[in-house]
Chain A
Amino acid sequence: MELTAGVTTELSGAEITIRCLQEEGVEFIFGYPGGAVLPLYDELFKQEKVKHILVRHEQAAVHGADAYSRSTGKVGVVLVTSGPGVTNAVTGIATAHMDSIPMVIVTGQVPTHAIGQDAFQEVDTVGITRPCVKHNFLVKDIKDLAVIMKKAFYLAATGRPGPVLVDIPKDVQSTKTAYFYPQSVTMRSYNPVTKGHSGQIKKAIQLLMEAKRPMIYTGGGIVLGNASAELTQLVRTLGFPCTNTLMGLGGYPASDPQFVGMLGMHGTYEANMAMQNCDVLLAIGARFDDRVIGNPKHFFQEDRRIIHVDIDPSSISKRVRVDVPIVGDVREVLQEMNRQLAAAKERPDPAAIKSWWTQIEQWRSRDCLKYDRASKIIKPQFVMEKLYELTKDMDLFLTSDVGQHQMWAAQFYKFEKPRRWINSGGLGTMGVGLPYALGVQLAYPDATVACVTGEASIQMCIQELSTAKQYRLPVKIVNLNNRYMGMVRQWQQFFHGNRYAESYMDALPDFVKLTESYGHVGMRIDKPEDVEPALKEAFGRKNDLVFMDFITDQTENVFPMVPGGKGLSEMILV
């Protein structure tokens, strides 16, 4: 490791930590105080550059920082105390890790002399978090602190991003040392590849030119790698169909006719059929996970050649064998592909591509997302359609929790831009929706931010209504209340003989009164004709948090559905 430039003064560990955050341009730190972080809070108190957001539970602190990062692309920052502060934060950290979100988590630890003594509020933080962070550090020597902080931000934001945790014992926070913040760090053991191999890229272009039934499949990597513009250019130049994963939505404009919708377990019929039947597949920033391709054996019943672009070599050939692997930053690789494409003389066979599109349009005409629009009970899909209609010109940020409502939001809301759809894809963490919305609203105070949730998910972080009040964050909550853990109920109906074990939500609170008690506005909507007026009123209240409790059909299911272990083309259709 080399150090370059810096300033020298004698500061305490707590002062150094806060100074490092300032140097990194950190706007917000999401946290909750406690015994082992008191010196850090004391230093936060003495300055104004880094604004602390006090949540009501440490899990929400991590989710808030996570959403701040997902919506801005910057590193999210968290501060929690030792012991329960850390264990409460673990769900949030694992959520960020699964979706590769850049984040730095600063945790307090008991004093170094007490480590290992089963001290009050002591846990092995580095041990507990090791499997769900990109890297973590325990700062034993004050002299290492500034460099570790620099490394933490560097590791979090580069390569395949992810959360990095820095555990600082209380005595290290109060010891003084000369302060020197390096402008940059290099680590001999960490050198992420960014530039894709040009020979491999050439091979990829060649394959794409020969394709008769091509498909472009992209994931969260396009969003994280800020490569939407480059992807859009490539897809339009080639004239090929494009699908996005749940994490990749917004990476390609959803209203574009070349977009065939989301793919996967609850993907569209046309996306899944095209994925299964294509002869050349270009996968970018996606990882062929079980929710996307279903059973890999079934996927390989069809013969196709696969090009896979990803910054993480371990994502390539993990679940499926690929023909042309390209390791690199997706944006740089796409730029190179676009350059080579512009220079290429050949073009794909127009007749073959035309007949492929005819096939895709036939699949599309199956109208796989249809539902009973004449229903007297509110259909959740109807709420999503109306939400989209009414907010599509607002450049809305939409967060969601996890379950049926998440899938309906993903299916019905057309995301035109990246970083507008904020949800937990990999870990599938219920409870993220509200803290996500708060994190986004803090990052974009003037934007319209909504959270689609359900009566089960929202109760997992409902206490954050209080945080919303404290910081005056006027997010709009769309609660699809079907009195069931809907996705659990759906699986029990399909795969467990209609035995709805523990999936019924009994003893629900009156959400209107609950919201009002936190000082917000609550609305209850139980007729289809009231959906649109309610949404209009809620989104018209610019300065209020509005909780819309939509009483929806209890038995509605999400279709299409690829049952677990089945192949992509073995969908259950409505």
Chain B
Amino acid sequence: MENEPGALSRVAGLFSARGYNIESLTVAPTEDPSLSRMTVVTSGSDDVIEQITKQLNKLVDVVKVVDLSDGDHIERELMLVKVRASGKDREEMKRMADIFRGRIVDVTEKAYTIELTGTGSKLDAFLEALERGVILETVRTGASGIGRGERILKVS
């Protein structure tokens, strides 16, 4: 979509006004600074998804809409988790981070901050695998998606 002030609120407003689900929404400018790319994760029946696509296309700031789940695609989300890392938990947290291919990006005497990237379900699985009590704080970006192979979303 056009990298214009207010473009984000037009999309967010559309979802709330028409009662569509919005699970996550990520947006940032692209290599062409006049364009922003947004990934919206939503759910609904085929009819609802068709309407969402049409309504998004109707927004004047929206240049192109693609349903990534129509084909093969890659989906990644970034999560930062601050966990308790003292005593016996310290070694365990390191192991868990390694198993999930996470990286410890901040270390104190009592805590680790783990960076983890993957699909939403992988991040969920990581949180599930941790003991509730060790999680001090989490922050997630929401999913960004891109088509596999030669499938390209580009404005001509």
Interface pairs (6), CB distance under 8 Å: A155-B60, A187-B60, A189-B2, A189-B60, A189-B61, A314-B55
Alpha-carbon distance A134/B58, docked complex (angstroms): 9
How many Å from the CB of B37 to the closest CB on chain A?
13
Given A131-B13, A313-B54: A189 and B6 within 8 A (CB)?
Answer: no
B6's partner among A126, A312, A321 (CB-CB below 8 A) is A126
Please determine whether A130 and B63 come into contact, CB atoms closer than 8 angstroms. Answer: no
Top 10 A-B residue pairs of the complex, sorted by shortest distance between their CB atoms: A314-B54, A135-B60, A189-B63, A313-B54, A131-B17, A314-B55, A190-B60, A314-B58, A130-B13, A189-B2
Q: Is A113 an interface residue (CB 8 A)?
A: no
A127's partner among B9, B51, B155 (CB-CB below 8 A) is B9
Q: For chain B residues 32-79, which have a beta carbon within 8 Å of chain A?
A: 47, 50-51, 54-55, 57-58, 60-63
Please determine whether B1 and A189 come into contact, CB atoms closer than 8 angstroms. Answer: yes
Q: Is A50 an interface residue (CB 8 A)?
A: no
How many Å from the CB of A340 to the closest CB on chain B?
27
Given A189-B1, A189-B2: A134 and B13 within 8 A (CB)?
Answer: no
B5-45 interface code vs A (CB 8 A; 1 in, 0 out): 11001100100010000000000000000000000000000
Alpha-carbon distance A523/B83, docked complex (angstroms): 82
Q: Is A184 an interface residue (CB 8 A)?
A: no
Alpha-carbon distance A130/B9, docked complex (angstroms): 9
How many Å from the CB of B66 to the closest CB on chain A?
14
Q: Is A317 an interface residue (CB 8 A)?
A: yes
Please determine whether B17 and A314 come into contact, CB atoms closer than 8 angstroms. Answer: no
Alpha-carbon distance A189/B55, docked complex (angstroms): 13
- B6 contacts across to A, CB distance below 8 A: 126, 130, 138
Alpha-carbon distance A138/B55, docked complex (angstroms): 22
Interface bracket on A: 10 to 19
Q: For chain A residues 125-170, which have a beta carbon within 8 Å of chain B?
A: 126-127, 130-131, 134-135, 138, 155
Please determine whether A317 and B10 come into contact, CB atoms closer than 8 angstroms. Answer: no
- A318 contacts across to B, CB distance below 8 A: 51
Alpha-carbon distance A236/B12, docked complex (angstroms): 46
Most interface-central of B47, B58, B62 (chain A CB within 10 A): B58
A297-336 interface code vs B (CB 8 A; 1 in, 0 out): 0000000000000001110011001000000000000000
Alpha-carbon distance A155/B9, docked complex (angstroms): 19
How many Å from the CB of A252 to the closest CB on chain B?
28
Q: Is A188 an interface residue (CB 8 A)?
A: yes
Alpha-carbon distance A188/B9, docked complex (angstroms): 20
How many Å from the CB of B75 to the closest CB on chain A?
25
Alpha-carbon distance A188/B156, docked complex (angstroms): 9
Please determine whether A134 and B60 come into contact, CB atoms closer than 8 angstroms. Answer: yes
Task: Identify 17 new A-B residue pairs, CB closer than 8 A, beyond the known A130-B10, A317-B50.
Answer: A126-B6, A127-B9, A130-B9, A130-B13, A131-B13, A131-B17, A134-B60, A138-B5, A155-B60, A187-B60, A189-B2, A189-B60, A189-B61, A190-B60, A312-B58, A318-B51, A321-B47
Alpha-carbon distance A519/B67, docked complex (angstroms): 62
Most interface-central of A126, A155, A188 (chain B CB within 10 A): A188
Alpha-carbon distance A126/B61, docked complex (angstroms): 14
Most interface-central of B50, B54, B60 (chain A CB within 10 A): B60
- A189 contacts across to B, CB distance below 8 A: 1-2, 60-63
B57's partner among A134, A187, A188, A313 (CB-CB below 8 A) is A313
How many Å from the CB of A107 to the closest CB on chain B?
15
- A138 contacts across to B, CB distance below 8 A: 5-6
- B51 contacts across to A, CB distance below 8 A: 314, 317-318
- B63 contacts across to A, CB distance below 8 A: 188-189
Alpha-carbon distance A138/B5, docked complex (angstroms): 9
Alpha-carbon distance A135/B58, docked complex (angstroms): 10
How many Å from the CB of B153 to the closest CB on chain A?
14
- B50 contacts across to A, CB distance below 8 A: 317
- Closest B residue to A313 by beta carbon equals B54
- A135 contacts across to B, CB distance below 8 A: 60
Q: For chain B residues 87-121, which have a beta carbon within 8 Å of chain A?
A: none
- Closest B residue to A160 by beta carbon equals B58
How many Å from the CB of B18 to the closest CB on chain A?
10
Alpha-carbon distance A515/B2, docked complex (angstroms): 52
How many Å from the CB of B137 to the closest CB on chain A?
31
Alpha-carbon distance A470/B10, docked complex (angstroms): 40
How many Å from the CB of A76 to the closest CB on chain B?
19
Most interface-central of A134, A313, A317, A321 (chain B CB within 10 A): A313
How many Å from the CB of B58 to the closest CB on chain A?
5
- A131 contacts across to B, CB distance below 8 A: 13, 17
Please determine whether B58 and A317 come into contact, CB atoms closer than 8 angstroms. Answer: no
Alpha-carbon distance A312/B60, docked complex (angstroms): 13
- A134 contacts across to B, CB distance below 8 A: 60
Alpha-carbon distance A134/B55, docked complex (angstroms): 12
- A187 contacts across to B, CB distance below 8 A: 60
- A127 contacts across to B, CB distance below 8 A: 9
- A314 contacts across to B, CB distance below 8 A: 51, 54-55, 57-58
Alpha-carbon distance A318/B48, docked complex (angstroms): 9
A173-206 interface code vs B (CB 8 A; 1 in, 0 out): 0000000000000011110000000000000000
Alpha-carbon distance A314/B5, docked complex (angstroms): 25
Please determine whether B47 and A317 come into contact, CB atoms closer than 8 angstroms. Answer: yes
Please determine whether B155 and A188 come into contact, CB atoms closer than 8 angstroms. Answer: yes
Q: For chain A residues 98-138, which have a beta carbon within 8 Å of chain B?
A: 126-127, 130-131, 134-135, 138
- Closest A residue to B2 by beta carbon equals A189
Q: For chain B residues 133-156, which have a beta carbon within 8 Å of chain A?
A: 155
- A126 contacts across to B, CB distance below 8 A: 6
How many Å from the CB of B19 to the closest CB on chain A?
13
- Closest A residue to B5 by beta carbon equals A138
How many Å from the CB of A403 to the closest CB on chain B?
27
